[in-house]
Amino acid sequence: MKLTRRHLALAATVGALAVGGWIAFGGDLTRQAAPQVDYTLLDGSRHSTAQLKGKVVLVNFWATSCSTCVQEMPQIAATHQKYRARGYETLAVAMEYDPPAYVANFAESRKLPFGVAIDNTGEIAQRFGDVRLTPTSVLINKRGEIVKRYVGAPDFAALHTLVEQLLAET
């Protein structure tokens, strides 16, 4: 079948209308739903990412052997403290290769103010896009959509600006 200019123009128009309709009705082509995963925190409590809907969430994949992760953790904690009263949550997910005793010691000695899970099987990292590099952080809006992925330490001033915008959304 030979495509003419008219066919191509028609296809482009239909595509533009579809995208315009998607955006007009609240769609966002760049945002995908965060995966629903179950996890256990260091205190033994079981949770699910589904329970975090309605909050702005930073999921931080890290390891005690990662120097950038260790360096950024005070700023991750400060960000959590700054916004938690407004509906912000942090979940630190230690990579499957990280010895659980090291993770528990790190969290306790630094008095991390948020939940810490150990991804024993690697399933959480897999479900969040096959995370392999640390630190990797994923910012999720109140609707449970991934807004931004950071590989390496984020620019915390820019992160705070984005968190403020997401917290203001209804």
pTM, two decimals, is 0.82
Mutual angle of helices 156-168 and 67-83, in 10-degree steps: 30
Residues facing 58 on adjacent strands: 90, 139
Q: How far apart are CA 127 and CA 96, in angstroms?
A: 13
Q: How far apart are CA 95 and CA 124, in angstroms?
A: 9
131-167 pLDDT, tens digit each: 999 999 999 999 999 999 999 999 999 999 999 999 9
Q: Where are the alpha helices (DSSP H) in the chain?
A: 5-24, 67-83, 100-109, 123-127, 156-168
5-28 pLDDT, tens digit each: 554 444 444 444 434 333 333 344
